[in-house]
Amino acid sequence: MKQLIVILLSFSFLQFLSQEYNYQYITQAQGLNNTFINGIVQDDRGYLFISTGEGIGVYNGVGVEMYYKKNKIVDDYVSASYKDKNGNLWFGHIQGGSSIFYENKFAHVFIGAGIGSQINDIAEDKDGRIWFVSQEYGLYYFTENNDKDFFPKPSSNRLYYSLFINEADDFFLGTDKGIEVYNFTIETDGGHLNKTQNIGIEEEEQIASIIDINGTTTFAISLHGSAYTIIKKNGSYSAEKLSFYNLNTEIVVTEAYSSKGYLWISTLQNGLLKCSIQDNQIFIKEKYNKNSGLKTDAVNTSFVDREGVLWIGTFGEGLASKEEDLFTYYFIDKKNNNPLSSVLVNKTNLFVAGKSKIEHFDKQNVTLYKTYTSENGIPKDEITDLLFDKDSNLYISTTLNGVYVLKKGEEHFEKIHISEDNLSQTISDIEIVDNWLYIATLNGAYRYNLNSGGVNIFNITTGLPHNAIGCIYKTSDNRLIIGTNSAFISELKDEVIINYPIKDGLEVIEVNDIFEDHNGEIWFTSNGSGLFKLQDNQCFNLNTDDGLISNYCNALRINKLGNIWVSHNEGLSNINIKDSTIQTYDQYFGLNHRFLRGSMTMLDNEIWFGTENGLVLYNSDKDFKNKVPPITTLKFVSINDSLYKIDEEIHLNYGSYKFGFGIAGLTLKGAKKVKYSFILEGYDDKWSEKTDKNTIFYTRMNEGEYIFRVKSYNADGTEGTEASIKIIVKKPYWQTWWFYVICFIGIVAVVFIIVKFRERSFIRYQEKLKRDLALRTREVVEQKNKIEAINKDITDSINYAQRIQRSILPQDQYIEKLFPNYFIFFRPRDIVSGDFYWCGEMGDKQLIVCADCTGHGVPGGFMSMISHILLREALTEETLNNPALILQQINSKIVEVLKQTDDIDSNRDGLDIAIIVQDKKNMKVKFAGAMRPLYIYRKGVRTVIKGDRNSLGGLQNGKQFETKEADVQPGDKLYIFSDGYADQFGGPRKSKMKINVFQEVLDQVSQLEMPQQKEAIADFFYKWKQDMSQMDDVLVIGIEI
Amino acid sequence: MKKLVLFIFILGATISNCSAQAVPAPEENIPFLVTFGKDAKKSYGDDDYCQTFFFSIPKSFSKPFYIRIFDPETGGKHDETYKYSDSETTFSLYGGKGCVSEKDARETNPIGNFKSGNLLHNKTFKNESKYDDQWYTIGPLSPSQGEYSDEYFGYVFKLICQGTKGDDGNLYRYFLSTSATDNIPISGGNAFTFEYSFRLNASNNQISHIYPFVDDNVISIKQTNFDFDNDGSIELSSVATKGYKLKMSGDNEIAEDKYTIVSKEKGTSLDIQLIKGSRKITNNNVVFFVTNQYGEALPFFAVPIGGTPKYAGKLTIKPVQK
């Protein structure tokens, strides 16, 4: 009876909503050369292998690469495909040949010689043999190890179409006349296929497919749709016929396939049937054909990939894919727009309203129960809302004609009169609270008492911010929220209107729809300003900046998961409150029609949307993330724009390179939304941000070891596998260890050679030096002898000159006569001296002189001799009274004798001199000095009488000398001296003694007797000088009065 | 006048092209193909109870196509029934290698490996009302399922109709179509056979045409007709000949004669006209085929290759009078 009802429902109604799915197609545009699909299989990498009549297309989620005979396929026409347990792909061809795809390349298995008819099926036995079913020939098998055997015509007068090998290793061979069962044994003479039985079926039919369903059921189906389960009883198999529960036409079956618990039956004229088996009946759950939006009814094969995407191999329209349906599409008339301005749904019924019409559908089958039109009292106007009250009376609102009600059990709508005002006939929304029907109009919100018919109005005069009401919403706690065309959202509470400012109450917001979330917070949509939430009397806004498709928001619902659904003209926005993300849905998901304002209704997991043409159903049960990780691969690696192998390390010589990486994240579900993250170890510090770029470049890459690693993420963010490749750019040879070693060895060798060379050279040089030395020594000895001879001569000469010079010095006795207490410390630097002393007397005056001629040695000697003569010549009575005259005369004579001029080339020789003339009688001394002073110590106190600051001889410049006179007392000690003593280097710091030290010496010794003074002065000099050379002639003269 | 001629030419070409894949072709003026059950008498007009037709799909065509059979069942409105309809007819479609290149497939008699190629579709019809006076569609088919042949201008499919049971005559037609439900010809598609078994028009003085194709290797042809029942006359016209009388057969008889090809006829079709006489023979079924000098059958194309031959006229040479 139940079946009868269903069948009646299926056939009785003339009109129904045709369900349409969103299909994506792979055709020539994606590179698929031939649009007749014979087989679909997916390899372990995730690539889809599409068998066609003109080659095999390999689909990577983006495009198809075709493979032909030239790519090691036996034949371009591929009639069957199969993936074995090891992941190898096997292909059968039209002339009986077979190919394999393993280790990422195609290869011939068997060219088909002697077969001559197409491979219809491929199966694998327990021992891993791959069996090929040739339509007219029979069977043959191959193994991966190239073992093979052929079994022609296992049964006479049969054509062979399908093969299934069960767990017991029984072979079920589908022929053009039913099913035969074989077992396979290997004897000493080879393999044998032994027919064990025919499986009796009602008619001798061509068996299109024999498959396993869920590992429990062996299922067979014939070309014309006769279906069977094969059951083993008492050691033999029998077929039990299945009937289609809801199939109302003949079908031509090309293939049956089992996946995800469903049976997928491909037919040539009815599309793909998604079925389940229950109680020996096949239930068609869904049909994928022209009626559901598929381009063709001709489906040759189907496949569900690892991500759950359904692939439909059509015969002539390429490969169609259909992902799990987030949305289901229903059309009344696909070609002509049929706006559905309001939708209402409950568990069993679906009401859709458009212009002047309401249609009542059975929700389960989406078949039409009843249509209400103007004949039922519906005005010729757009219906804006549908609403049932608790008594199942149906209320409708219209754009221009007010509100109507269809009372339960009646067929005619009646108008509800609320006002005669035209604006009150334009209704945007209706809501029922208790016994009140609230009506949103352009003239305010009316409240209609369903029992008494009384009417109240809420508008500007009662506190609403505007008379144009966009929507009315009853909250779970029976508050009434009113959206207007104003700057406020309003609430009717205890007959009082409370207005909440939306955007500080400064901007007019046209409110379109209102809904309450699970926390009791109110959300409302606006026309141009996005989505708002009313929380704690304040409004918060979400708009396109936050991810909404558009700020023009139509209807609004919040489902049981707490997700907010907002419809726009362009699609849908889904706001996940938990993680504050917004997912949008647009044409990519097949949402091609404009969503209408207020046309949204929700029931449990379902949300129904009315569009400008047809219905869209969202089912949250089907909305789950794709957790299958995408398979990440490197498509290519280019170095300086040249392609390199991607399956091995890349070694490059030293240089500067541009690296290019082509990457792919293989997912067949939402392939266009795959993103990537990558890192080039050795260059990057961290993984990149996710990007949709599938080609990555690095420039100016120099020496180093680099590892490029990339991960892909599918459209739902599931992280995929990782792919990587290592690139090594060699160091320059001068940075390699061997170069260092060679350099070290080279340097050592060079040093060794140089040392050796220098050693030899040194030896040779030494020998040469020895020779030269001997020669030179001989020469030097000779020269020495000569020089010694010369030196001796010179020395002898100088020694003799010394005798002469000494002869001019006064004798000690003479000096002692003139100056009884005196000492003279005279130490010439050389044999002859530039310093000399002299004394004499004239009258009662005694004279003593200390002279320091320029130079020392022989030149000094000469000058001392000249100066001595000039001194003697200058001595007169007069000059003794004024010794400065002595200096004047000597100065003049020197200039004259030595022919000195002011020319720069003229000699500047001369002398410094100190002259003391003692007048004992008067106890006076007169002193004249040229650059030399006189020190007088009286009772240990030093008095210095400075000489004139001119030397005798040399540049004249008007030299003048002056005689100084001093009274002396007995015991006074007078000292004159040359500069040789004070200029001597030595002492603790090897420095010049200077006059201060000399003065201290005199200060210390002046108290001594004259002889002791000489010794002390001599001692100090020698101690000061130590072993240093004497710098000048030294002459110190001391006399005591 | 020129415009009128041009219009007629274009109209004719358009009509010809539109119905190019109808078998028999409209320009042949043959109402039905005919195949009798294997138990029928040969005098019914079928000498081998088998008819093979080939369909050629141009290489440039890559869409799905269909082969449609009109009235495939035996019995009912159009068929020739004896006593009661107990016959069966099997239609088998072949493609793949050997489909046409196999020599036996091109013979006039169904012997040897004439079922060469890959069996794509096989359907047996009995007396079934749901197919009576209706189209049955095979397909969709992919062009690449056929055997590619340059000689026959594309991918070739072979449809064999065999009377597998009974003695009734199955009258049917074919159409090579891009649609499963309508007869929409394939641009550049064609159909041909090497032996034609068909029903002549019932009405008097109707002329049926068949167009064997003469390739470069043909020196002479031999026409063979079976069971023409002396129902009028058979004439041959070509670009070089007009109204050449051919021998015709009587009831259950074979008639044959030879015609020598002239050079200008090579690469063209011959127009063999079966001209019904004044006698009213309603169920006249005929078998007709043409072989070359080697005994190899020549194909009849649904669309004559090079067009329907137009007699070029005789060149008359007269001495020039001075």
Nearest-5° Cα angle at B168, B163 to B173: 65
**What chain A residue is nearest to B115 in terms of C-alpha separation?**
A136
Q: How far apart are CA A953 and CA A871, in angstroms?
A: 13
A669 pLDDT band, cuts 50/70/90, is confident
Q: With CA atoms as reference, report the closest residue to B127 among B76, B70, B68.
A: B76
Which of A135, A298, A316 is facing B119, going by the closest CB pair?
Answer: A135
| β-bridge mates for residue A471, sequence order | A483
CB B100 within 8 A of CB B149: yes
Task: Please state the rounded mean pLDDT for residues B123-127.
Answer: 91
Closest approach of B98 to chain A, Cα-based (Å) = 9
Which of A118, A316, A317 is facing B118, going by the closest CB pair?
Answer: A118
Q: With CA atoms as reference, report the closest residue to A91 among A60, A53, A36, A127.
A: A53
The pLDDT of residue A17 is: 60
Please list every residue in chain B whose beta carbon sits closer than 8 Å to the beta carbon of residue A51: none
Nearest-5° Cα angle at B93, B90 to B94: 135
Structure tokens at A541: 């806004």
Is A95 in contact with B96 (Cβ distance < 8 A)?
A: yes
Q: With CA atoms as reference, report the closest residue to A320 among A339, A344, A301.
A: A301
Q: How far apart are CA A822 and CA A1013, in angstroms?
A: 9
> Residues near A482 by Cβ (< 8 Å), separated by ≥ 6?
A440, A445, A458, A464, A469, A471, A472, A473, A489, A490, A491, A492, A497
Flag whether residue B180 sits within 8 Å of chain A, measured between CB atoms. Answer: yes
Is A53 in contact with B144 (Cβ distance < 8 A)?
A: yes
Q: List the 279-298 stretch of A: residues with Cβ below 8 A of B.
A: 296, 298
Instruction: Name the burial class of residue A611, with classes exposed (0-12), middle (13-18) and buried (19+) by CB atoms within 10 angstroms of its CB.
Output: buried
Closest approach of A442 to chain B, Cα-based (Å) = 54
CB A910 within 8 A of CB A954: yes
Mean pLDDT check: name the lowest of A159-168, A188-197, A409-418, B12-21. Answer: B12-21
Flag whether residue B145 sits within 8 Å of chain A, measured between CB atoms. Answer: yes
- B178-203 b/e (C-beta count within 10 Å ≥ 16 → b): bbbeebbbbebbbbbbbbbbbbbbee
Q: How far apart are CA B140 and CA B243, in angstroms?
A: 43
A808 pLDDT band, cuts 50/70/90, is confident
Please list every residue in chain A whose beta carbon sits closer than 8 Å to the beta carbon of residue B140: 268, 296, 298, 315-316
Structure tokens at A581: 């993300």
The pLDDT of residue B226 is: 92
Flag whether residue B64 sits within 8 Å of chain A, measured between CB atoms. Answer: yes
pTM of the model: 0.66
Q: How far apart are CA A47 and CA A89, in angstroms?
A: 11
Task: Indicate if the pLDDT at residue A202 is higher than 70.
Answer: no
Q: Under the phi-then-psi rule, with left for phi > 0, alpha for psi from -120 to 50, and beta for the rest, what region is A112?
A: left
CB A80 within 8 A of CB A701: no
Q: With CA atoms as reference, report the closest residue to A175 among A200, A191, A155, A195.
A: A155
More confident residue, A957 or B7: A957
More confident residue, A61 or B177: B177
Please, where are the H alpha helices in A431-500?
none
10 Å Cβ neighbour count for A533?
A: 17
* Helices A994-1005, A1010-1025: inter-axial angle, 10-degree rounding: 150
- Average pLDDT of every residue of chain A: 88
Collapsed DSSP state (helix, strand, coil) of residue A1015: helix
C-alpha distance from residue A806 to each of A382, A829, A868, A981 (Å) = 154, 14, 11, 20
Is A36 in contact with B98 (Cβ distance < 8 A)?
A: no
Is A269 in contact with B180 (Cβ distance < 8 A)?
A: yes
Which of A117, A269, A316 is facing B118, going by the closest CB pair?
Answer: A117
Count interface pairs A-B at CB distance under 8 A. 53
**What chain B residue is nearest to A37 in terms of C-alpha separation?**
B142
**What chain A residue is nearest to B96 in terms of C-alpha separation?**
A94
Flag whether residue B62 sits within 8 Å of chain A, measured between CB atoms. Answer: yes
pLDDT above 90 as % of chain B: 36
Task: Indicate if the pLDDT at residue B76 is higher than 90.
Answer: no
Is A36 in contact with B142 (Cβ distance < 8 A)?
A: yes
Mean pLDDT check: name the lowest of A11-20, A202-211, B118-127, B250-259. Answer: A11-20
Which value, in Å, is the radius of gyration of the alpha carbons in chain A?
Answer: 64
Structure tokens at B125: 């019809």
Please list every residue in chain B whose beta carbon sits closer than 8 Å to the beta carbon of residue A315: 64, 140, 142
Task: Indicate if the pLDDT at residue B314 is higher than 60.
Answer: no
Task: Indicate if the pLDDT at residue A14 is higher than 50.
Answer: no
Task: Indicate if the pLDDT at residue B2 is higher than 70.
Answer: no
> Residues near A410 by Cβ (< 8 Å), separated by ≥ 6?
none
CB A566 within 8 A of CB A554: yes
Place of tokens 């000292």: A975
Task: Please state the rounded mean pLDDT for residues A82-88.
Answer: 94
Is B64 in contact with A316 (Cβ distance < 8 A)?
A: yes
Task: Please state the rounded mean pLDDT for residues A898-925.
Answer: 86
Q: With CA atoms as reference, report the closest residue to A448 among A440, A436, A457.
A: A436
- Average pLDDT of every residue of chain B: 84
Q: How far apart are CA A821 and CA A806, in angstroms?
A: 22
A11 pLDDT band, cuts 50/70/90, is very low
**What chain A residue is nearest to B139 in terms of C-alpha separation?**
A268
Q: How far apart are CA A537 and CA A504, in angstroms?
A: 11
The pLDDT of residue A1 is: 39
Place of tokens 């004896």: B82
Q: pLDDT tens for residues A369-395?
A: 889 999 999 999 899 999 999 888 999
Collapsed DSSP state (helix, strand, coil) of residue A75: coil
Q: How far apart are CA A6 and CA A936, in angstroms?
A: 156
Q: Using H for helix, E for strand and C for coil, what is the string for A604-656?
A: CCEEEEEECECEEEEEHHHCCCCCCCCEEEEEEEEECCEEECCCCCEEECCCC
Flag whether residue B140 sits within 8 Å of chain A, measured between CB atoms. Answer: yes
Q: With CA atoms as reference, report the closest residue to A564 among A551, A580, A549, A576.
A: A576
Q: pLDDT tens for residues A233-273?
A: 888 899 999 998 878 888 899 999 998 889 999 999 899 99
Task: Please state the rounded mean pLDDT for residues B276-296.
Answer: 83
> Which ipTM value was assigned to this complex?
0.79
Task: Indicate if the pLDDT at residue A779 is higher than 90.
Answer: no
The pLDDT of residue B13 is: 35
Chain centroid to CA A500: how far? 48
More confident residue, A822 or A958: A822
Is A316 in contact with B98 (Cβ distance < 8 A)?
A: no
Q: With CA atoms as reference, report the closest residue to A950 among A908, A996, A912, A905.
A: A912
Closest approach of A157 to chain B, Cα-based (Å) = 14
Task: Please state the rounded mean pLDDT for residues B283-287.
Answer: 88
Please list every residue in chain A whose beta carbon sits closer than 8 Å to the beta carbon of residue B145: 36, 53, 77, 94
For an interface test with A, the pick among B57, B68, B118 (most A C-beta atoms closer than 10 Å) comes out as: B118
Please list every residue in chain A whose beta carbon sits closer than 8 Å to the beta carbon of residue B144: 34, 36, 52-54, 76-77
Task: Please state the rounded mean pLDDT for residues B123-145.
Answer: 92
> Residues near A67 by Cβ (< 8 Å), separated by ≥ 6?
A55, A56, A57, A58, A73, A106
Task: Indicate if the pLDDT at residue B62 is higher than 80.
Answer: yes
A1024 pLDDT band, cuts 50/70/90, is very high
Place of tokens 């007088």: A936
Is A117 in contact with B96 (Cβ distance < 8 A)?
A: yes
Q: With CA atoms as reference, report the closest residue to B210 among B300, B131, B125.
A: B300
Q: How far apart are CA A162 and CA A164, in angstroms?
A: 7
Q: List the 96-155 stretch of A: residues with Cβ below 8 A of B.
A: 116-118, 135-136
Closest approach of B181 to chain A, Cα-based (Å) = 11
Collapsed DSSP state (helix, strand, coil) of residue B232: coil
Q: How far apart are CA A670 and CA A680, in angstroms?
A: 27
Task: Please state the rounded mean pLDDT for residues A91-104.
Answer: 92
Please list every residue in chain B whose beta carbon sits closer than 8 Å to the beta carbon of residue A52: 144
Q: pLDDT tens for residues A501-539?
A: 998 777 889 999 999 998 889 999 998 899 999 988 899
Task: Please state the rounded mean pLDDT for residues A875-888.
Answer: 88
Q: How far apart are CA A698 and CA A31, in angstroms?
A: 30
Q: How far apart are CA A332 and CA A343, in angstroms?
A: 14
Task: Indicate if the pLDDT at residue A781 is higher than 50.
Answer: yes
Ordered strands of the A581-585 beta sheet: A556-558, A563-567, A572-576, A581-585
The pLDDT of residue A919 is: 87
Closest approach of B92 to chain A, Cα-based (Å) = 13
Closest approach of A521 to chain B, Cα-based (Å) = 58
Task: Please state the rounded mean pLDDT for residues A666-689.
Answer: 89
Is A94 in contact with B180 (Cβ distance < 8 A)?
A: no
Residue A9 amino acid letter: L
**What chain A residue is nearest to B144 in terms of C-alpha separation?**
A53
A164 pLDDT band, cuts 50/70/90, is very high
Collapsed DSSP state (helix, strand, coil) of residue A696: strand
CB A982 within 8 A of CB A994: yes
Structure tokens at A956: 């004249």
